[in-house]
Amino acid sequence: MAPSTTDEVLASAADVKLLLTGEKQAALSKEEQLALIRVNLAEFLNPEIIEKAIDEGRHPRIYWGTATTGRPHCGYFVPALKIAQLLAAGCNVVILLADIHGFLDNLKSPYEIVEYRAQYYRYAVTAILEAVGVPTEKLEFVLGSSYQKSPEYIMDVYKLCSVVSEHDAKKAGAEVVKQSDNAPLSGLLYPILQVLDEEHLKVDGQFGGVDQRKLFAAAKEWLPKLGYKERAHLMNPMVPGLQGSKMSSSDPDSKIDLLDPPEVVARKIKKAEAIPKVAEGNGLLAFTEFVLLPAAEFQGRHFTVDRERDGLEPLVYKDVAQMRADYEADILSPQLLKPAISKALNELMAPIQAAFQASKEWQEVTLKAYPVEDKKKKVKKVKDKGTRYPAGAAPPKDGDGAAPAAQ
């Protein structure tokens, strides 16, 4: 199913904000709720489960989980904006800070600092959501280790391990767990835990990126083996990184950190790949489509591209279709688009960075969660150039018996 556009939704982003803040009290119909839930999704598995919850007069309970590994980056705005739409649609949203998952994901988070990284994620995710207008008091934050060490949960882990093969566990986690030769067993446990989270969080569905599709398909198959019901799965598109690949915390050139200063943001955007007139696979256009355009609409404005240096009126966009058309026609060039993105993104991240500067606790947790590596300076080794004469041959003497100075 292709991503829905905001034109197909009854409420605009501005209406979503009014619904979130309670300024718009009109009850949504079932069709309007489902329209908001579907908007901008790449895929929606078992939507009838969500429809049934609405028919029963319940608020669908949906969870989004994030493993507490590398520092959250600006790609996290994509799920944040979707969470805003889910809340506006009347869903109860659970944010899972998956600290044990972060430890199990091979080669990422040492156990000793996982606790601090979970705290950092709570600060960062809260700040991201508030930056796009999501009232965080409507969210439920859950720390994975708060229930994943309970006897009931551990027993379910054992049960699922007895009916899931090594091959299937590895396949399910292929896109989300770091793969390596002779990998530890923790990588096989990761997908098992994520599947069980759906049952133990008592949700109707799970929301995540399309990179988790294999894991979501496994959940549909595995949970019934323990007598548990299937859940719905909502998937948002993955925004390409600045260099064209997946935006990743482990690749500093592919992403922008939430705390990057404006000059660093501008430098990274300037270096980003952007082929003129080619809109397909363009990471900058994709990021604008899924983050900057809806974020601007939430704030009651449009995405603007300045052309003052050319003596022309600015380009103003409210949808990505016109942006793509202008880009392919070279009306919107990479040279015009990049500074516009830098400006809009710095404005979006400004309240996050202000919250960080105002919180000593967040700053202290950051140093513990992501300690600065002590890189020892290498002592430059003095190269022995020798006498520049063949081995064993003595340099000629000048009149006073000293070796001649090098010319």
Provide the token pair at 341: 């993105």
Stretch 21-29: mean pLDDT, rounded? Answer: 65
Q: Are strands 140-143 and 205-209 parallel, antiparallel or unpaired?
A: unpaired
> Which residues does 159 contact at the CB level (< 8 Å), separation at least 6?
226
C-alpha to C-alpha distance for 194 and 176, rounded to whole angstroms: 11
Taking 50 as the threshold, does the pLDDT of residue 51 lie above it? Answer: yes
Provide the token pair at 62: 């949906």
> What pLDDT, on the 0 to 100 scale, is given for residue 383?
59
Least confident of 52-56, 90-94, 279-283, 342-346: 279-283
> What pLDDT, on the 0 to 100 scale, is given for residue 106?
58
pTM score, two decimals? 0.83
**Higher-confidence position of 120 and 382:** 120
| pLDDT tens sequence across 302-315 | 999 999 989 999 99
pLDDT band at 372 (very low <50, low <70, confident <90, very high): confident
Taking 50 as the threshold, does the pLDDT of residue 128 lie above it? Answer: yes
Stretch 169-192: mean pLDDT, rounded? Answer: 84
Taking 60 as the threshold, does the pLDDT of residue 24 lie above it? Answer: no
What structural domains does the chain harbor? 6-236 (3.40.50.620), 262-364 (1.10.240.10)
C-alpha R_g of the chain: 27
pLDDT band at 301 (very low <50, low <70, confident <90, very high): confident
| pLDDT tens sequence across 288-300 | 998 999 888 887 8
| pLDDT tens sequence across 211-269 | 999 999 999 999 999 999 999 999 998 887 776 555 555 556 668 999 999 999 999 99
| pLDDT tens sequence across 94-119 | 999 999 998 888 566 678 899 999 99
C-alpha to C-alpha distance for 167 and 76, rounded to whole angstroms: 31
Stretch 359-380: mean pLDDT, rounded? Answer: 82
SS in 3 state form for the chain?
A: CCCECHHHCCCCHHHHHHHHHCCCCCCCCHHHHHHHHHECCCEEECHHHHHHHHHCCCCCEEEEEEECCCCCEHHHHHHHHHHHHHHHCCCEEEEEEEHHHHHHCCCCCCHHHHHHHHHHHHHHHHHHHHHCCCCHHHCEEEEHHHCCCCHHHHHHHHHHHHHCCHHHHHHHCCCCCCCCCCCCCHHHHHHHHHHHHHHHCCCCEEEEEHHHHHHHHHHHHHHHHHCCCCCEEEEECCCECCCCCECCCCCCCCCCECCCCHHHHHHHHHHCCCCCCCCCCCHHHHHHHHHHHHHHHHCCCCEEECCHHHCCCCEEECCHHHHHHHHHCCCCCHHHHHHHHHHHHHHHHHHHHHHHHHCHHHHHHHHHHCCCCCCCCCCCCCCCCCCCCCCCCCCCCCCCCCCCCCC
> What pLDDT, on the 0 to 100 scale, is given for residue 244?
58
C-alpha to C-alpha distance for 240 and 198, rounded to whole angstroms: 28
> What pLDDT, on the 0 to 100 scale, is given for residue 298?
80
C-alpha to C-alpha distance for 60 and 42, rounded to whole angstroms: 20
Taking 70 as the threshold, does the pLDDT of residue 177 lie above it? Answer: yes
Cα 111 to its chain centre, rounded Å, is 22
> What pLDDT, on the 0 to 100 scale, is given for residue 394?
55
